Amino acid sequence: MLIQTQEIQQVANEVMNMLHEEELEVINNIHDAVLARDIEKIDELFPVLLFDVEDHFSTEETMMQENNYGNFQVHKNDHDTMRKKLAKFHKRWEVLKSPKELQGFLEKDFKSWLLLHISKWDSETALHLNGGGM
């Protein structure tokens, strides 16, 4: 398991917490397939991960826009950075089929980015969405 539930900070917005929980399941599933070096399973799960991450990001972005969140563009830029990295690694996966490389990305880059993003941007955004202002 790449990320334990207790590693994910709960934020002040239940929709965002739900998105994080769903994404956590997908991330852990693909990580398990990577550890097992199960190429077929990774092929099946990578598009699911891309879809889930996009759903997560676009849902948050819509909520931010609907609530006139002042740091929308900075938060979205952080999403866009990870969108680009995931797209790059998906393209590399399609060519190389390297579980080791994908494992390094998930364990070093993606996990640390996600935990930091949630603790910084999502926790701040959630306070704003729940009337804390900003």
The domain locations on the chain are: 5-132
The pTM score is 0.93
pLDDT, tens only, 55-110? 999 999 999 999 999 999 999 999 999 999 999 999 999 999 999 999 999 999 99
Average pLDDT value for the chain: 96
**Span 5-132: which CATH code?**
1.20.120.50
Q: Are 63 and 113 in contact (CB under 8 A)?
A: no
